Structure 1
C-alpha cells in the first residue's frame, strides 16, 4: 500500500526511530533447524517459464485439466494464480520432524486454496498460521482456507493491532481497506493468539518477531495517505505497528527471514532479528520489501547497500517490492537475487 502523498514535518516525527514498547527477551535461544522449505503460495506474479536451480523449484503450467471448449480435448492448462497479495508455506525440519506453518493468506478468498490444489499441496497438514500484519491483501484467503478445511482449531498468531481500521487517502478519493474481524475468525474455527512481543513456535525453532525496533535513519514507514482510526479520529499511520516477520535459524548457515510487506523496513527487521537471536549472519531474506512507488523509491539505494553488506546467500523479494528495487537488488546481489513467482519453492539446507 503506497502513494505519492508528501508527509509534513509532524507526520515525519511519528516515524522516527523508536524502541519496541514493553519488555523483550534478549537474546532468544532460537533452536537451529536442519532444513527450511518456503513455498510461495501466492504472489503478485506467476511466470511459468522461470527456471529453477539447486535450491529453487518452479511451478509450470501443469496438466491440461481445466475445462475449455475451444480446445480439441476440451481442456487447457492454466498454471497458478497471481494477485496483489502474499502467502507462503514454511516447512521447518528438525531431524525427522517437520512442521508446516502458513505465513499470510493472500488477497482473495479462493486464491491460496486454488494454488494449493494445483500444486498438489495438502493444507490439512498445516499446524498454524502467522499473519505479518492486518492489511487485507495478506488475510483475504482465510475464509477460503476455513471453507476447505472445515471445523478446526487452527492456532493463528497475530499482533493486537491487526484489527485496526485503516484507509488510503489519495488524489482519486478515499479507499477504506477491509478490516479483519477477530469475531469472524474465531467463529470460523481459528484460535487467535494476540502477541505484540516476540513469540517462539515449533518447539523454539520459529521466531515471530512481534513489534520491530525502528533503528535505521532512512526507513520511515508509510506516507501521509495511509491513515488509521484511533480514538475516533483518522490519523497518519506511518508505522503499521503490527508488522512482524518470521525467523528461522538454519544450522551453520544463519538466519532465514520471511517478511509480508516489511512495513517496519527490511533492514530494521534484519537488525531486530539479529538482536533478538544473537545470530549475526543473514542467510536468506524473502517476501515483500515495500519499496514500490515514489514514496519509497528514494530509500532503495540505502536499503540495497545495507542488504549487500550482509552478503546473504538468497534474496527473493516479491509482492510490494517494486520493479525499480528488483532491478537494483539484482544488480547489487547477482548471485543471491532470485525472482519471485507464485508456486516457487526455496529449499534451504544446513551446511
Structure 2
C-alpha cells in the first residue's frame, strides 16, 4: 500500500503544478492510500476545490475532513464543502481569535484569525482526544505542552492569550513508521511528535509534513529541534506553509513542497 499526497493549497506554487493551479497563504492536503481519502485542512477559501478539479481529484467521496486548528488559513474554506461532509476537529476550533496589540487591560485587535462562518450543515465530530479517522488515519487530539507559547488572543475584550490548544495533527500509520501531517506546528514540533509516538506506541517516524512555524524561532530552539530530528531520524522531512526561509536555512535537509505537488510514500 502507498500513500498519495496532493498539495491542494500552499503559500507557493510548485513548478510542477498543473496549468491553472492557484496558490494561497494557507494549507490543504488530500491524502489517499487506496482505502481511505482524507482532506487535511481546507485553506482560506474555496481554492482547494478549484485546484482539486484541475488535477482530477474529486472531493465528493471523502471519508473525512480533518482540521488541524481554527485559524482561517486552515479552515476558512470549510463552508465550500458539500452538506453532510464529515469533519473531525478539536472543539476549540470555533473560538474567535485575533492578532492584536496588547495594552493594559485590553487588546486592540489588528486582524481576525478565526473563521467568520460556522460549520453549518456539516457533520462535525469534535474530539479533544485521539480517534481513528478511517483505516490507517488517526486524529491526534489535543497535544499537551508544558509551557505553551501564546499566538494572538481569544476575545479582544478579555485579552486572553491564545495558546492554540485546539491544534492537532493527522497521522498515517505505515509499516515504515508514522507519517505525521502538521498544520502550523504552534504546539511545537517536538511536542507533537512525542505525543504521536505516545498515543500510537510506534517509535519510528517515516515522514514529517506541513507547517513547522519556524519563521521567527530562536537559534537555541532550532539547535534543539535539529538534535531532536537527528534522534528520531525521519526518512523524509517535507516543510511548507509557515516553516519560513529562516527555518529552511537551519533545517537544510528539509525538502520543500508547494501547491500542485504530488508525493507518493511507498511502504
* Pairing partner for 2:155 from 229, 249, 252: 229
Task: Summarize the Cα distance change of 1:40–1:61 in structure 2 as closer, same or farther, 3 Å threshold.
Answer: closer
Match of residue 140 from structure 2: 209
Contact residue 134 and residue 163 of structure 1 kept, 8 A: yes
Determine the structure 2 residue equivalent to 1:5.
none
Look up the match of 1:118. 54
**1:60 paired to 2:17:** yes
Residue 129 of structure 2 corresponds to: 197
1:84-104 CA-to-partner distances (Å, cap 9, x unmatched) read 1001011134xxxx2101110
* Change in 2 beyond 3 A, CA 1:118/1:178: same
Pick closer, same or farther for the CA change 1:143–1:229 going to 2, 3 Å: same
Correspondence 1:310 to 2:232: yes
Question: C-alpha displacement at 1:296, in angstroms?
Answer: 5.3
Q: Which residue of 2 aligns with 1:243?
A: 167
- Partner residue in 1 for 2:264: 347
Please state how far the C-alpha of 1:46 moved relative to its aligned partner. 0.8
Alignment equivalent of 1:261, drawn from 168, 184, 205 = 184
Q: Give the C-alpha shift of residue 170 in structure 1.
A: 4.1
Give 3-state SS (helix, strand or coil) of 2:17's partner. Answer: coil
**d(CA) in 2 for partners of 1:190 and 1:260?**
21
CA shift, 1:61, in A, is: 4.5
- SS of alignment partner, residue 227 of structure 2: helix
Q: Which has the higher contact order (CA 8 A, sep 6+)?
A: 1
| Unmatched tracts of structure 2, length 5 or more | 103-107
Q: Is the 8 A contact 2:17 2:261 kept in 1?
A: no
Secondary structure of the 2:197 match is helix
Q: Deviations over 1:103-133 (max 9, x none)?
A: 10001x2311121122221111212111000
5+ residue gaps, structure 1, are: 1-33, 49-58, 63-77
- The answer to whether the 8 Å contact 2:67/2:74 transfers is yes
Q: Identify which of 99, 106, 114 aligns with 1:179.
A: 114
Q: Which has the larger radius of gyration?
A: 1
Q: Which residue of 1 aligns with 2:38?
A: 101
Q: TM-score, normalised by structure 2?
A: 0.90
Q: How far is 1:153 from its partner?
A: 1.4
RMSD: 2.1
Q: Note the alpha carbon deviations across 1:51-80, whole angstroms, 9 max, x for none.
A: xxxxxxxx3343xxxxxxxxxxxxxxx4x2
